[in-house]
Amino acid sequence: MIEQLFGSKTRVKLLQLFYRNPNRSFYVREITRKIEEQINSVRRELANLLSVGIISSDTNNNRLYYEVNQKFEHYDALRSIFADKKYTQPKKDDKKSNEDIKSKEAKEQRVLPTPTEEAKDQFIEALTKSGNIDIALYTGQFTRDELSGVDILVVGDVNGATLESLISDFEQTEKKRIRYCVLSPEEYRYRKQINDRFVTDIALSKKIVFINKDNLL
């Protein structure tokens, strides 16, 4: 039914991928592997989403990356559909803007406690076994600093399915939703070089760094 509503199965899969990973970018062949669709179909739908403004693109080392545009007018509404996030349509006479709502949510998250030492140690130990990690850190709700918009940043070559499972276990242990972002070392260096806002916010945010190989951070 949702495929009929949004035009194609490929488009729906793309929207699910982007809205479930709002702080991560993907290149075309990576996308085709993740959603298991033909590359021509993926390219066509990416062009459609770009033209509307739902996603944005950037080039890194001659490779084109795509990520969801969080400034898109209907970002919250679409995220509620494709990332299973609750969304309430604002009333016409409601003076609160989306920024006000997000600010309120951020304040609510800041009162959450930091993870237990045992859970923290278990997560980091398991994370180091999941791939070649260059950077791993806590920020966001774990340090009561919402500047970056994420709670965990991982930079390195890591198995996506394994990391997703680790995050899921961590969420169950801590009984809270954890926002995380995974970047390749190349993408992180490029974003740092161009003073990308997300990477800059990470640098300025209050954080707990567990892994910082070769002082990449």
Task: Give pLDDT tens digits for 91-132.
Answer: 555 545 555 544 544 444 443 444 556 666 778 788 888 788
The span from the CA of 158 to the CA of 161, in Å, is 9
For 123, the 3-state DSSP assignment is: helix
Nearest to 101 by CA among 123, 118, 85, 121: 85
Residue 159 · residue 131 · CB < 8 Å: yes
Q: Amino acid identity of 171?
A: E
Angle ∠(201,21,217) on CA atoms, nearest 5: 35
pLDDT tens for 151-210 read 889 999 887 778 888 888 888 887 778 888 888 899 899 888 888 888 888 888 889 898
Q: How far is CA 157 from the centre of its chain?
A: 16
Structural domains in the chain, sorted by start: 2-75 (1.10.10.10), 117-215 (3.30.460)
Q: How many residues appear in the chain?
A: 217
Is residue 60 over pLDDT 80? no
